[in-house]
Amino acid sequence: MSGIEAAGVVLGILPFMASARESEARISTQIARFRAHIARNGIVMTFYLHILFPDALFVMERVERYVLTASDQEVVAFMKSYNSSFNMIGVAGAIIAQVAISALSLTNLESSHWTGTAFFITSLVTGALSVFFSCAVSPAFHGLHSAEDIKDFLTKPTPSNKDVEEADGDNPSLSFRQIASISPSMSAARSVQLRHHFAATELQKWKAASPHAAVMLVVPMTLLKVALNTFLIGLGIYLGKLCTAKIIPSYGTGSVGILVFYIVSTLSGIAMYYVAQNYKYLERARLERWHKQKDDLGLNEVVPRPVNPDVMASSGHQPDLNSREQHRTGKSAVEHDDAAVLEEIYSPMDEQGQQSITASRQSDPAHNNDLSTKDGSTNTIGLNGDVRHLLKELLDSQEESLRINKRLLEALSRE
């Protein structure tokens, strides 16, 4: 926590004193989040993030909420928002570095305490570094030219391989070297086993936010905060010595007034933002509890609905309905049989493997029903009828959700 933030917390203590229940809710929420971070990232990384880079935790939450199950357009928009903020941070860092250079030429600075000069130099260095890292974290320098590249950068492999082991069965320890050894001369059973393992491993991508990527994104802003804090501290030391040591005798008793004006203006400016920020946090805490109650009641889950195969075939991505369900439940709305997944992801295959997949799909009655619906002679409903039916169900579900939300708001207002 920087000096400005610490002063803001002190100045913003009044909202929490006036709302004791909200403060208790905040503390309990922070404890629950801290335990969740330890379970996911380990105790060392969790303490590292909480002590040095608390803003990285906020970035990780945003990644898990808006990137992991988002569409390609939303992922690109998410990264563009950070790219624009890096431009502003670079400009601000250059300004602070220039101001720090000017501060080194203050009158009789050498007569002040040496820590004042040290803080000014620290402000200069960190301001310049914030400009550099604002450029270094640009997506172009990391090869982030597509939504998939951005997801790979912002996420990490799932730490637990439990799902992979369950999917692979008796031999969960297959290596990528074995997977790369797939050849047409390999037996069909072995080929399918290796491909199945690789497909299960692919499903573990984009499951958790990467703390290291989050730290990279917040480093420019963190350095900018350090630059501003050290500049204000160095200026405070200089003005303090100006008042006590009379390093500029011509000021006389006016040096006391200068120090008072500096303290009042600094604390007032900090309070303007952090008091409002704390009040806003109290408002947001109510919404978070409301969303948590909806999650506990299962009201945020989206019921999966059948999707027309022709619509699925016309697009390379799943409909928005599936992505929204994944966002709320963490599960895929459309589940394919293993043979279908292997055939869609890996091609070409050896002839024996194709025959085994074809036989397995022919023996699956659900798959045969899907094939019959794709046939124009057996499809009696039509695309327009399906669309009208889905729209009607969507309107009904929205009306039901509005009624439930109204009852929840009434219950919360009574509390």
Q: Positive or negative, the Cα torsion across 329, 334, 337, 340?
A: negative
pLDDT > 80? residue 54 = yes
CA distance 29 to 288: 10
pLDDT digits (tens, 9 = 90+) for 103-130: 999 999 988 899 999 999 999 999 999 9
The count of C-alpha atoms lying within 13 angstroms of the C-alpha of 363, restricted to the half-sphere facing its C-beta, is: 7
- Interval 75-102 mean pLDDT: 90
Q: By three-state DSSP, how is residue 175 classified?
A: coil
CA distance 345 to 353: 14
Dihedral angle, C-alpha 48, 50, 51, 52, nearest 10 ° = 70
pLDDT of residue 1: 56
Per the CB < 8 A criterion, the answer to whether 223 and 127 are in contact is: yes
Token duo for residue 223: 């350095």
Q: Identify residue 373 by its one-letter amino acid code.
A: T
Give, for 208, the enclosing helix (H) or strand (E): strand 208-209
Residue 212's CB is within 10 A of a number of other CB atoms, namely: 11
pLDDT of residue 331: 41
pLDDT tier at 231, thresholds 50, 70, 90: very high
Q: Say which residue the tokens 């992505």 belong to.
A: 323
The residue that leads in pLDDT, 158 or 262, is 262
Question: How far, in whole angstroms, is CA 224 from its chain's centroid?
Answer: 21
pLDDT of residue 299: 64
Question: How far, in whole angstroms, is CA 181 from its chain's centroid?
Answer: 36
The residue that leads in pLDDT, 246 or 408, is 246
Q: Identify residue 52 by its one-letter amino acid code.
A: L
CA distance 342 to 353: 10
- Interval 82-108 mean pLDDT: 92
CA distance 156 to 348: 29
CA distance 97 to 247: 25
- Backbone φ, ψ for residue 208 (5° rounding): -145, 150
Name the pairing type of β-strands 155-156 and 208-209. Answer: antiparallel
- Going by C-alpha positions, the residue among 261, 242, 267, 269 that lies closest to residue 253 is 242
The residue that leads in pLDDT, 313 or 413, is 413
- Going by C-alpha positions, the residue among 337, 291, 296, 301 that lies closest to residue 321 is 301
Token duo for residue 247: 């390093």
pLDDT digits (tens, 9 = 90+) for 166-190: 444 444 444 444 545 555 555 566 5
Q: Read off the DSSP letter of residue 302.
A: P
pLDDT of residue 264: 94
Q: What is the mean pLDDT of the chain?
A: 70
CA distance 252 to 258: 11
pLDDT digits (tens, 9 = 90+) for 295-347: 667 665 444 444 444 433 333 333 343 444 444 444 444 334 444 444 444 44
- Backbone φ, ψ for residue 351 (5° rounding): -65, -40
Token duo for residue 44: 């060392």
Residue 57's CB is within 10 A of a number of other CB atoms, namely: 20
- Interval 129-142 mean pLDDT: 85
pLDDT > 60? residue 406 = yes
pLDDT of residue 279: 84
pLDDT digits (tens, 9 = 90+) for 186-214: 556 656 666 666 655 555 666 788 888 89
CA distance 367 to 373: 10
Dihedral angle, C-alpha 79, 85, 86, 92, nearest 10 ° = 180
In sequence order, the β-bridge partners of residue 166 are none
pLDDT of residue 244: 87
One DSSP character per residue, 92-151 reads HHHHHHHHHHHHTT-TTGGGS-HHHHHHHHHHHHHHHHHHHHHHHT-GGGGT--SHHHHH
Residues 6+ positions from 353 with CB-CB distance below 8 Å: 188, 191, 192, 195
Give, for 380, the enclosing helix (H) or strand (E): none
Residues 6+ positions from 338 with CB-CB distance below 8 Å: 196, 199
**CA dist 334 → 120, 325, 327 (Å):** 59, 10, 14
- Interval 58-83 mean pLDDT: 84
Per the CB < 8 A criterion, the answer to whether 97 and 230 are in contact is: no
In sequence order, the β-bridge partners of residue 143 are none
Q: Positive or negative, the Cα torsion across 262, 266, 267, 269?
A: positive
